[in-house]
Amino acid sequence: MSTQMQQLYQQVILDQSRARVGNTELLRDAAGSPHGYSHQVNPTCGDEIELETELREDGTIAVRWTGDGCSISMASASVLSELAAESSVAQMLEIEGAFHELMHSRGTMEADESILGDAAAFTGVSKFPARIKCALLAWMAFKDALNQAQAAREEKHNA
């Protein structure tokens, strides 16, 4: 087994791809708090995710998703959901920024585990240009859904 393969498929990734934290039925408009929804597709491989975010009263974000894809994309959605449950919106945006930068580093960056937590396990993915989109799919959906949730909260606030 090549070391590159081991770097890519960290145990965290293999475990999370099976755990699929947050993989649950979407509530859509049945959600109580301000929420947003996004559907992202990777046209090259057909990987797909539907993800929604809900801004809880306590300031954390509930993430629910359904999807179909490779272990990298599923593990990424799982880790994202775990992180969101224990982070504020500001923290999640910081993580999202750091993760985006890490994925586009072509393997030249050290992951900052203090920011990224388990998402640091995806460092090896950045060496595989064909797989970066897999890791980013859930995060793209998250960012889109979060924007909508924030807009919904804004609207509610102004109403």
Partner 1 sequence: MFSRLRGDFPILDVRVGESPLSYLDSGATSQKPQCVIDTFVEYFQQRNAAVHRGAHSLAVEATDAFENGRIAAAGLVGGTPEQVCWTKNATEALNIVALGMDRASHGFGGDDAERFALAPGDSIVVTEMEHHANLVPWQQLAASTGAQLRWLPVTDSGELDLTDLDTIVDESTKVLAFTHVSNVLGTINPVDRLVQRARAIGAYVVLDACQSVPHMPVDFVDLDVDFAAFSAHKALGPTGLGALWGKSELLDALPPVLTGGSMITTVTMEETEFMPAPQRFEAGTQPVAEVAAFATAIGYLTEVGLDNVLEHEKELARVLLDGIGQIPGIHILGEAEDRIGTVAFDVDGVHAHDVGQYLDSQGIAVRVGHHCAQPLHRRFGVTASTRASTYLYNNVEDCTRFLTALAEVRPFFGVA
| 108 makes contact with partner 1 (CB under 8 A) | no
CB atoms under 10 Å from CB of 122, counted, come to: 27
- Per DSSP, 109 falls in state S
Q: Return the residues of window 75-104 that contact partner 1 according to CB under 8 A.
A: none
> Judging by beta carbons within 10 Å of its beta carbon (0-12, 13-18, 19+), is residue 43 exposed, middle or buried?
exposed
Instruction: Give the helix/strand (H/E) hosting 38.
Output: strand 35-42
Q: Pick the stretch among 4-12, 29-37, 50-58, 151-159 that binds partner 1 (CB under 8 A).
A: 4-12
* DSSP at 131: G
Q: What is the largest CA-CA distance in the chain?
A: 59
Residue 48 within binding range of partner 1, rule CB under 8 A: yes
Give the C-alpha separation, 137 to 47, whole Å: 8
Stretch that binds partner 1, among 51-59, 68-76, 97-105, 142-150 (CB under 8 A): 68-76
Figure out which of the listed residues 19, 26, 27, 70 binds partner 1, where binding follows CB under 8 A.
70
Of the ranges 39-47, 85-93, 101-109, 146-154, which one interacts with partner 1 (CB under 8 A)? 39-47
**CB of 128 vs partner 1, minimal distance in Å:** 7
Q: Please report, as ranges, the residues that interact with partner 1 according to CB under 8 A.
A: 1-2, 4-5, 8-9, 14, 18, 44-48, 68-72, 74, 128, 131, 134
